[in-house]
Chains A and B, each alone.
Chain A
């Protein structure tokens, strides 16, 4: 099991689009990925679950994964949150 803590800095919090980015990233890996906020666990592969956490700017989250590719997926999602979901949007615009 790999887990890391991260604080959301993005002003808008995790609304539909950022939530989708997290889910898309998690779906690339076969392992179980969880997002935890205030003891409430959400399945990172479910958009409703992530949206249901109501993550606002300043929320402290734990990204936890267990299974194949756990280190990589935790790393990717934490980086995405730390970068305020920006680099990914930019890279998708380039494509």
Chain B
């Protein structure tokens, strides 16, 4: 899916990160589309070097650019801005609360190029902006599964419908874990190794339980039982117990499940009546935490046994 975002989205709620910006000119261009998640510092361009001018990116005017514009004579400034705005510039942001002068605003208004001013300093602003752009342009996939935060590990339960994913999540919520999404899990690759999962805004905190219908987990169990997003760290594949199928008995090898080209640690849990799946998921999450700390139980036991065997051999 190709992502595009509109310039005006920056004025709206940007979630946890506030860009602290206000629009000062070029309101007519607010519906322009941002297609690239990169930015440009136009210092060299203003000074006359127009090769490689990435006009289709967000232009960041820091203290340097503002000072350069300020020291130009009116005629020179008019010349520089005429050239600058002859390109189809996407939008401009002035940092450090440095509002551009009226000539700049006039050019921007005429060309419909949105101009923003932020109270943040350049480095902070760029890091916030890059974070938001990365999020917006991150590859996304919708998965059929149930997503729960178990002891701080984001556990994605997948399996055929009717295998008991939602019931398992409900039991986990009852045990104090936090529910994120049921059935429709939106997963974003926000970094080369990080997958973030959340629910669809429409279905937020709702869950379907056969026999009960649709319930709202937040209303029933309270605010502490839900969260909006979490890193996907473990995939639990639930499947009906198949007689004679080989299931992992040792856990020596680490299984993975690929999501958006990232291999996420996974376990396959066979389900049959009477088997307490939530406690298996809880234990799997705790085991995953141990593995993150470098403690690999199955391998350690194996090593101890091997050492013991070696010792026994030497005594003989």
Which chain A residues have a beta carbon within 8 Å of chain B's beta carbons? 16, 39-43, 45-49, 51-52, 54
Q: What is the chain B residue whose CB lies nearest that of A42?
A: B184
Contacting A52 at CB < 8 Å: which of B1, B162, B202, B207? B202
Which residues on the A side are within 8 Å of B162 (C-beta)?
45
Main secondary structure on B side of the interface with A: strand
Contacting B161 at CB < 8 Å: which of A41, A45, A54? A45
Which residues on the B side are within 8 Å of A16 (C-beta)?
214
Query: Is B142 positioned at the interface, with any CB of A under 8 Å from its CB?
Result: yes
CA distance A24 to B74 in the complex (A): 73
Which residues on the A side are within 8 Å of B207 (C-beta)?
48
Query: Would A43 and B142 count as touching, CB distance under 8 A?
Result: no
Looking at B144, B162, B202, B203, which has the most chain A CB atoms within 10 Å of its CB? B144
Which residues on the A side are within 8 Å of B184 (C-beta)?
42, 48-49, 52
Query: Is B149 positioned at the interface, with any CB of A under 8 Å from its CB?
Result: no
Which residues on the A side are within 8 Å of B208 (C-beta)?
46-48
Contacting B183 at CB < 8 Å: which of A39, A40, A52? A52
CA distance A35 to B202 in the complex (A): 17
Given contacts A48-B206, A54-B202, are A39 and B182 in contact (CB under 8 A)? no
* Sampled A-B contacts (16; CB under 8 Å): A39-B1, A40-B142, A42-B142, A42-B184, A46-B144, A46-B161, A46-B208, A48-B182, A48-B183, A48-B184, A48-B206, A48-B214, A51-B203, A52-B183, A52-B184, A52-B200
CA distance A83 to B1 in the complex (A): 31
Encode B140-182 as 1/0 by CB contact (under 8 A) with A.
0010100000000000000001100000000000000000001
Which chain B residues have a beta carbon within 8 Å of chain A's beta carbons? 1, 142, 144, 161-162, 182-184, 200, 202-203, 206-208, 214
Looking at B1, B142, B182, B183, which has the most chain A CB atoms within 10 Å of its CB? B183
Query: Would A43 and B203 count as touching, CB distance under 8 A?
Result: no
CA distance A42 to B200 in the complex (A): 12
Q: What is the chain B residue whose CB lies nearest that of A26?
A: B161
Minimum CB–CB distance from A28 to chain B (whole Å) comes to 13
Minimum CB–CB distance from A48 to chain B (whole Å) comes to 4
Apart from A41-B142, A47-B208, A52-B203, list 16 A-B contacts with CB within 8 A. Answer: A39-B1, A42-B142, A42-B144, A42-B184, A43-B161, A45-B161, A45-B162, A46-B144, A47-B214, A48-B182, A48-B183, A48-B184, A48-B206, A51-B203, A52-B183, A52-B200
Minimum CB–CB distance from B258 to chain A (whole Å) comes to 17
Which residues on the A side are within 8 Å of B183 (C-beta)?
43, 46-49, 52
Minimum CB–CB distance from B238 to chain A (whole Å) comes to 14
Which residues on the A side are within 8 Å of B142 (C-beta)?
40-42
Q: What is the chain B residue whose CB lies nearest that of A45?
A: B161
CA distance A39 to B139 in the complex (A): 13
Which residues on the B side are within 8 Å of A47 (C-beta)?
183, 208, 214
CA distance A8 to B202 in the complex (A): 20
